[in-house]
A and B are shown apart, each in its own frame.
Chain A
């Protein structure tokens, strides 16, 4: 009998403890962003600076770009911070976002096995490289998860004049996973893969993989930040969210972004318009 009473008490205490962050009324926003951005470590670098400047805590939920935008459509985030211009503009056109501001860019790189079966290493033309990979039917891993990276990959195949649906075969591995897991898969099967430089630089399980193609301007990856429309979701923290957006495009925010390095290399290049 008292066993049940004791358990109830424990449960209530536990719930009270868990509720206390909410009770403490701390200022926070939920930002839906991408796994590649989070895993690059950028947020770990810039968010403390933002919190110091404004006292606002940022809770980053890291998903694929498509998932991040869907989360925002449902009203489960205050701000989105993703890298797929087409999807972002559609998001705003649908009325879910207020305004898109460009923040920074990084680039994609083509990564592949050191023994390079498709002979693409050192090239500066991404579409040429993709054509060679398809011709050789060399193993290629795709993220396949509606992410910004996936969208970029599909655009590049199209630009190379290749209809994926026609030529898809066992060589094209659609994994439906984030950047890290996809890289893991590519590493274990010695495949080519399109990755963002940030994730690649902090990826520790490279095995036989190395950078084979980089520098093509078509590989640039633009990031945008959007406030979720309070007209659609009245609970959105529009003032705090706007404070975040204003900060990342401000001189201060842009400088903090540029200062982020891995192994001395700059990852993200701020390009917010004033």
Chain B
């Protein structure tokens, strides 16, 4: 219990004094994860929507795969991306390994299936209600997917937040492809792992509290935006 309270007060202290090193680590964590969310949403949301409205051979198999990949182990994704980006690998010449860009790539691959699967479920439920009317008005499946994406946007916020949560909290992928380089690819989760392995458990736990506070803050901001938008657009 002592470690717990000690860590809580350390965490509060770090946040209150806006510790410079911590601030830059938090900044990088947000930059990497938010960028990954942006890419994953751009790919995953339309993908999920089209999966929901279009029928095609093999659809059920793809749904099973998408749902399964929601739980992809982050360390496996990290390993795959490492092999892709390594100098010995196909994308080697770009020299992307051990950079924040590699971390964004890995996290995007990690969370796209999650966001696509959740979107598919939301859109499929909406499609049941809207299908006849939209087809009657002459909407093609692609057009209908876009319309429903916009119409269900408030429910999709949850899908996006789920993606952000998964990205901000993972350590396996960013550790392998980023290398946890001080000042370059060190993010919250890899710092916590490092401090734990150095035996400084109170500090690691304190950083853990900061990370949780960060994720909660993002969720809070999203919820406020959602409430404002609901009031505005109905």
| A residues adjacent to B (C-beta < 8 A) | 1, 3-4, 7-8, 10-11, 14-15, 17-19, 21-22, 30, 35, 39, 43-44, 59-62, 74-76, 177-181, 183-184, 187, 199, 202-206, 233, 235
Partner of A7, one of B38, B97, B198: B38
Using A14-B31, A35-B197 as known contacts, say yes or no to A59 and B153 having CB atoms under 8 A apart: no
Complex contact B97–A19 (CB within 8 A): no
Give Cα A15 to B101, complex, Å.
8
Which interface residue of A59, A61, A76 has the most chain B CB atoms within 10 A?
Answer: A76
Using A14-B34, A14-B35, A14-B38 as known contacts, say yes or no to A76 and B87 having CB atoms under 8 A apart: yes
In the complex, what's the smallest C-beta–C-beta distance from A38 to chain B, in angstroms?
8
Partner of A180, one of B35, B42, B196: B196
Interface string of B185-198 (1 = CB under 8 A from A): 00000000010111
Q: Which residues of B contact A61 (CB under 8 A)?
A: 98, 179-181
Complex contact B146–A18 (CB within 8 A): no
Please tell me if B71 contacts chain A, counting CB pairs below 8 Å.
no
Complex contact B198–A11 (CB within 8 A): no
Which of chain A's residues has its CB closest to B185's CB? Answer: A59
Using A14-B35, A30-B98 as known contacts, say yes or no to A59 and B184 having CB atoms under 8 A apart: yes
- List the count of A-B residue pairs having beta carbons below 8 Å apart: 102
Instruction: Beyond A15-B35, A17-B31, A18-B32, list 4 extra A-B contacts (CB 8 Å).
Output: A10-B34, A14-B38, A22-B99, A60-B182
Q: A-B pairs with the 7 shortest C-beta distances? A: A180-B197, A75-B87, A205-B199, A14-B35, A61-B179, A11-B38, A74-B88
- CB under 8 Å from chain A, chain B span 194-219: 194, 196-201
Which of chain B's residues has its CB closest to A32's CB? Answer: B179
Complex contact A18–B197 (CB within 8 A): no
Complex contact A203–B35 (CB within 8 A): no
Partner of B87, one of A10, A18, A184, A233: A233
Complex contact B100–A18 (CB within 8 A): yes
Q: Which residues of B contact A3 (CB under 8 A)?
A: 149-150, 153
Give Cα A4 to B38, complex, Å.
10
Give Cα A184 to B95, complex, Å.
35
A-B contacts, 16 of them at CB < 8 A, read A1-B150, A10-B38, A11-B42, A15-B104, A18-B99, A18-B100, A19-B101, A74-B87, A76-B98, A177-B197, A179-B197, A180-B199, A181-B197, A206-B199, A235-B87, A235-B93
Q: Which residues of B contact A21 (CB under 8 A)?
A: 99-100, 184
Complex contact A76–B86 (CB within 8 A): yes
Interface string of B31-74 (1 = CB under 8 A from A): 11011001101100110000000000000000000000000000
Please tell me if B13 contacts chain A, counting CB pairs below 8 Å.
no
In the complex, what's the smallest C-beta–C-beta distance from B122 to chain A, in angstroms?
14
Give Cα A30 to B98, complex, Å.
9
Complex contact B101–A18 (CB within 8 A): yes
Complex contact B199–A8 (CB within 8 A): no
Complex contact B101–A60 (CB within 8 A): no
In the complex, what's the smallest C-beta–C-beta distance from A70 to chain B, in angstroms?
10
Using A19-B101, A61-B98 as known contacts, say yes or no to A39 and B197 having CB atoms under 8 A apart: yes
Complex contact B199–A18 (CB within 8 A): no
Partner of A18, one of B35, B150, B179: B35
Q: Which residues of A contact B101 (CB under 8 A)?
A: 15, 18-19
Give Cα A205 to B205, complex, Å.
13
In the complex, what's the smallest C-beta–C-beta distance from B219 to chain A, in angstroms?
18
Which of chain A's residues has its CB closest to B184's CB? Answer: A59
Q: Which residues of A contact B150 (CB under 8 A)?
A: 1, 3
Give Cα A204 to B41, complex, Å.
42
Which of chain B's residues has its CB closest to A2's CB? Answer: B150
Give Cα A202 to B198, complex, Å.
7
Using A204-B198, A205-B199 as known contacts, say yes or no to A4 and B42 having CB atoms under 8 A apart: yes
Which of chain A's residues has its CB closest to B35's CB? Answer: A14
Give Cα A17 to B35, complex, Å.
10
Interface string of B72-94 (1 = CB under 8 A from A): 00000000000000111000110
In the complex, what's the smallest C-beta–C-beta distance from B54 to chain A, in angstroms?
18
Give Cα A22 to B200, complex, Å.
33
Partner of B97, one of A60, A76, A178: A76
Give Cα A7 to B160, complex, Å.
12
